[in-house]
Structure 1
Amino acid sequence: MKSLRFYQTLQMKLIVIYVLLILIAMQLIGVYFVKTMEDSFRNNFSEDLNGKASLLAEYVRPYLAVKADLQSEETVTKKESLNDVVTNFNQIIGAEIQVIDLNGIVLSSSMYAGDVGQKNTDPTISRALQGIKDQERDVIDAFDVRKKALALPVKDGTKIVGAIYMIASMEELFGTIDSINQIFIAGTLIALALTAILGIILANTITTPIKAITRRATAIADGDFHQRLHIIGYDEIGQLGHAFNHMTMRLKEALSSIEEEKNKLASILSNMSDGVVATDDTGTILLMNTRALQILQVTEQQAAGREIADFLGITKPEIDQYVLGDDHTTVIDFHTHELNEPLKIKVTFTPIRRSEGLLTGTIIVLEDVTEEEKLDQSRREFVANVSHELRTPLTTIKSYLEALDEGVMDDPELANKFLGVTRNETERMIRLVNDLLHLSRFDSKQAVLHKQAASVEDMLEIVADRFSFQLQQKDIDIALILEDGLPDAYVDSDAMDQVLDNLVSNAIKYTPAGGQIRLEAYAVPGDWIAFKVQDTGVGIPKKDLERIFERFYRVDKARSRDMGGTGLGLSIAREIVRAHGGTIRLESGLEAGDQQGTTVTFTLPSVEKEVKNRV
């Protein structure tokens, strides 16, 4: 498998290409060269053979001319010398020779002695005797020896008197050509070997930097951005290396920036007070921040791969309407196992689109508006309560004033009664307005407390004395219980008188004749002093305990109003205690251990605590 991959590499391809180029070039050159050389050798061989034949023709022409003239007396003598000429030429040029007269009769031969006197019927000789020149042909004898046969007419002037027939071996010529071919093949092989070596070297100079770039690119893909290429030259590969190093640096900077932005985004998402959910185009959850998990009460494992519709309690078609429609916001009631009342969740759907407008996902923002809804409800109830509380006395005052204006003034007894009712209603409105101003100062943080050391015993005795007449009228017993060695409280005395007045006043209102009120004070850990106001009155139903400190909240609205209450006493008491850093709670009925009555307990700082805080 490795060898197969090697043959598919750029290095091997370059080597093969170079070798094939050299091989094809050498073959083309070799074929042309060998063909040209062979043709040249053959032409030279033919020309040389023709030259020798022409020379021999000059020598044998006198003998053939004598043979043609039968009356010549020198015929016999010259014929005897013809064999000597042929033999000498045969020895000199190494070719087989025949001298043939005009009739085709062999006069002399170096081939076979038996040919003399025989007629040679070779077509080449016949055409030569007819005066046709350049009668050549290649022949192969019985021993597979390649030879060239040549027939040349011999003329005496313009008269043909005979012919020369020569057969010369070409084995030496072909031997020379074969030797040259072997040299050429050996040169080709050497050239191919050198080309392969040079191809390997050249391919390495190209592929080695590419391999280095590939290794470093792979390392970068695996997250290692510290890769740098060593640049040797300034050619195209060197420029590629410079570009790679620059790309690596820019990529590292870009990824660092992306990572930084990702961390910022993750930190923002994690610390957002609103829940954020990212989904794809099918509604499948891709991301949920911590707040979203808390609101929906799920874990990341539970949310992974699920659709957001499974958690919001909204069907997918409804979600699509919010995503694709004009109204992207809705408020849903989200029920939980921990809370009896459902959470009010404001859900905002923001579609994510590509440049061409295709929907790719949705960002969903979850905002817990339960407290806001409660505050809005409280504001609406507050406005309604204030309006009601003011409207009732104003209506009463208006009615009595109209009655007085219509003639009741003439009846002194009835007029005084009407004026008394008007005065009471006016005082009630004044108390209501004062209480509202008092609460407003606490809400706006404008209430100023003048704290100082105050005796707990004096505080309780003063409030008991202040209500002694009312207690005596309703036949209610009051008891003061103080722990020994109790330190002074560090409080605003006037504000605490108001708290104790409100609590004792409520206890007196709702405790029947013959009942008892207990004022108790004792130390609690942390240098705090606990105050407890306990009565044996009608108590408060359990369902009303959670809202008892709300403004204008009354358990029995009609009865409370008849008793002159504004519904703000406990709210003011809670704000004053909180301003001192303490806590206040109320217990009644079953909450107080099956005991009738109501118990209000609040804590205040002691002087010792204030000293420690200053130190």
Structure 2
Amino acid sequence: RTSIPINSVDQAIGAIRTKIIFGGLVISVLAAVLGLFVSRRIARPIGQIRTWAESIARGQFQYRPSITASEEIEALSVSLSRMAEELRERIDTVIRQRNEIEAVLSSMVEGVVALDMEERLISMNQAACRMLGIRMSDMQGRSIQELVRSTMLHQFVNDTLSSRKPTEMDIPLSSDGEVIVNCHGTLLRDAGGRQIGAVVVFNDVTRLRRLENIRREFVANVSHELKTPITAIKGFVETLRDGAVKNPKDADRFLTIIDKHVARLEAIVEDLLRLSRIEQGAEQGEIERIDSRISEILRTAVQVCHVRADAKQIGIEISCPEETRAWVDPPLLEQAMVNLLDNAINYSEEGKKVRIRVTQEEGGMVISVHDQGCGIEKKHLSRLFERFYRVDKARSRQLGGTGLGLAIAKHIVQAHAGRLTVESIPGRGSIFSIHLPTNPPRNGSASHGDPLQPS
């Protein structure tokens, strides 16, 4: 029998085992290297996609990596790119719409305020900030009660939130009631129609309400001014009918009184018509302004008033350089000066003086009428040029005025693109000043009067 030593077999098996172990190690190393290569090839595009997604989340849509990988990963990359493009377009649309809404709200003269159900401010435009005296930075998360001290406004907001119909109300925002806003409130709903708060729109109607008050006062004053002489005339006519006409002496006295009241009615109607013509002419550009010498207009106005001035021994002084000229309507400016001089003469004591002074100012000239009368309290100055407004009603009617003289003077000056101002100290007198531009008018309603004379 043939036999092999055990040692030789063991050596052979050991050699084979060594080769197997070595081969296994080599294969493991190769497998690890191959696995690392494959994993990196797969992980790199996934990492790029993750970085891309993070940049999209931050709003950075410009970052777009070039990804080359398996078909599945490339499909994922294309889907992500499409999603990023659609997301960018939607965000741009939302931003554009928001900017448009903000631009519209910022341009509105009306104030707009949005509140939630707890009456906390959600949003408001610049006009609302100005009306309510709130800074935009102070409104976030705060209630209307914290920011605005107006019980009427708080109640209006509460009524709007609890009402199913739009609400409306005039609310004074200042303590003195000088600022009045008209508030419109309506419910604020989300896309699903669920109530989430209210929207309040503020419209400043201070000037409109003031004009309405002036109109009501004007109608009341006209009615009163016309009713007083009409009542007197009616009473004397009835007296004459009852037999007084048979007494020549009484009849003559009553007719004289009637004639006086008729003259007053005529003066009121004439002044109203004159005021209407001035306003209409100014609006339609029918007032013709010519290059005129101011001193001549002033002297003519003084001549018209000299009888009344002489009756009270009031001297009228004119201080006006002869070369002073301006583009004016001479008859209208003369009427304004007559009204101011009449006013100065009526309210000056006997023996006093009235001074007319002409000075130059930047871009124009000033014609001032100084009197030494009783003066006017400050509280009356802002309303002095309103129609039929009287500081001392009893004295004004006793002097025979219609209550329209200063209003006519103001409208004449405004028709010349100027302004009429007043300064007064009670007990010392008043200064009425006409501020007129000296340049030719731009509306073409100008022509040359007397030729310029060398100074």
TM > 0.5: yes
The alignment partner of 1:511 has SS state of coil
Q: Spell out, residue by residue over 1:87-141, the C-alpha distance to the aligned partner (whole angstroms, 9 max, x if none).
A: xxxx4999xxxxxxxxxxxxxxxxxxxxxxxxxxxxxxxxxxxxxxxxxxxxxxx
Structure 1 residue 478 displacement after superposition: 1.7
CA distance in 2, matches of 1:539, 1:238: 93
Cα 1:203/1:402, change in 2 over 3 Å: farther
**Residue 294 of structure 1: aligned partner:** 130
Task: Tell me if the contact between 1:441 and 1:447 (Cα under 8 Å) persists in the aligned partners.
Answer: no
SS in 2 for 1:610: coil
**Corresponding residue number in structure 1 for 2:450:** none
Q: 1:213 aligns with which of 27, 49, 66?
A: 49
> Aligned match of 2:403 in 567, 570, 573?
567
Q: Please say if residues 227 and 248 of structure 1, whose CA atoms lie closer than 8 Å, have aligned partners that are also in contact.
A: no
- Matching residue of 2:440: 610
Q: Which residue of 2 aligns with 1:348?
A: 184
Residue segments in structure 1 that go unaligned for 5+ positions in a row: 1-90, 95-144, 146-171
Cα 1:330–1:197 shift into 2, 3 Å: farther
1:582 and 2:409 aligned:
no
Question: For the residues of structure 2 that align with 1:328 and 1:198, how far apart are their CA atoms?
Answer: 77
Corresponding residue number in structure 2 for 1:44:
none
Q: Distance in 1 between matches of 2:416 and 2:200?
A: 43
CA distance in 2, matches of 1:293, 1:443: 37
Name 1:332's counterpart in structure 2.
Answer: 171
Rounded to whole Å, the distance in 2 between the matches of 1:441 and 1:186 is 121
Tell me the distance in 1 between the aligned counterparts of 2:398 and 2:54: 87
Instruction: Find the counterpart in structure 1 of residue 291 from structure 2.
Output: 453
**Aligned to 1:508, which of 345, 362, 366?**
345
Partner Cα distance (1:578, 1:220) in 2: 64
Partner AA of 2:350 in structure 1 = A
Shift of 1:485: 5.4
Q: Label 1:488 to 1:198 Cα distance change in 2 as closer, same or farther (>3 A).
A: same
| 1:267 equivalent in structure 2 | 103
In the TM superposition, what whole-angstrom CA distance separates every residue of 1:543-565 from its partner, at most 9, and x where no partner exists?
21121112221001122123222
Over residues 203-242 of structure 1, what are the superposed CA-to-partner deviations in whole Å (9 max), with x where a residue is unaligned? 5555443332221222122232223353657944333322
Distance in 2 (CA, whole Å) between partners of 1:317 and 1:505 is 53
TM-aligned CA distance change 1:522 to 1:356, over 3 Å: closer
Give distance in 2, aligned partners of 1:250 and 1:264: 21
Q: Which amino acid aligns with 1:427?
A: A
Q: Which has the higher contact order (CA 8 A, sep 6+)?
A: 2
Summarize the alignment of residues 228-267 of structure 1 with structure 2, pairs less than 5 Å apart: 228-230=64-66, 232=68, 235-267=71-103
Please give the per-residue CA displacement for 1:520-559, whole angstroms capped at 9, x wherever unaligned.
2222233x22111111122212221121112221001122
Distance 1:189 1:347, change over 3 A: farther
Indicate the residue corresponding to 1:547 in structure 2.
383
| Residues 229, 245 of structure 1: 8 Å contact kept | no
In 1, the alpha carbon distance for the partners of 2:170 and 2:69 equals 68
Q: Distance in 2 between matches of 1:534 and 1:489?
A: 21
Amino acid at match of 1:597: G
Relative to the length of structure 2, the TM-score reads: 0.82
Question: What is the distance in 2 between the residues matched to 1:396 and 1:485?
Answer: 49
Instruction: Write the letter of the residue equivalent to 1:348.
Output: H
What is the count of residue pairs matched by the alignment? Answer: 436
Correspondent of 2:429 among 597, 610, 615: 597
- Contact persistence 2:117–2:161 (CA under 8 A): no
CA contact (8 A) 1:328 1:349 kept: yes
Q: Structure 2 matches for 1:401-440, cutoff 5 A?
A: 401-440=237-276
Alignment check: 8 A CA contact 2:166 2:186 kept: no
- Paired with 2:70 and 2:110, the residues of 1 have a C-alpha distance of 57
2:114–2:121 contact (8 Å) kept in structure 1: yes
1:100-249 equivalence runs, <5 A = 203-204=39-40, 206-230=42-66, 232=68, 235-249=71-85
Kindly report which structure 2 residues correspond to 1:71-82, keeping only aligned pairs within 5 A, or say none: none
Could you report, residue by residue, the CA deviation over 1:443-492 in whole angstroms, capped at 9, with x for unpaired residues? Answer: 5513621111222221121111112211122222222222x454212100
Instruction: Kindly name which structure, 1 or 2, has the bigger radius of gyration based on alpha carbons.
Output: 1
% of aligned pairs identical? 33
**Equivalent residue of 1:283, what SS?**
coil
CA RMSD of aligned residues (A): 3.7
Shift of 1:273: 1.2
Contact preservation (8 Å) 1:532, 1:602: yes
Q: Taking structure 1 as reference, are residues 370 and 300 closer, same or farther at Cα in structure 2, changes over 3 Å only?
A: same
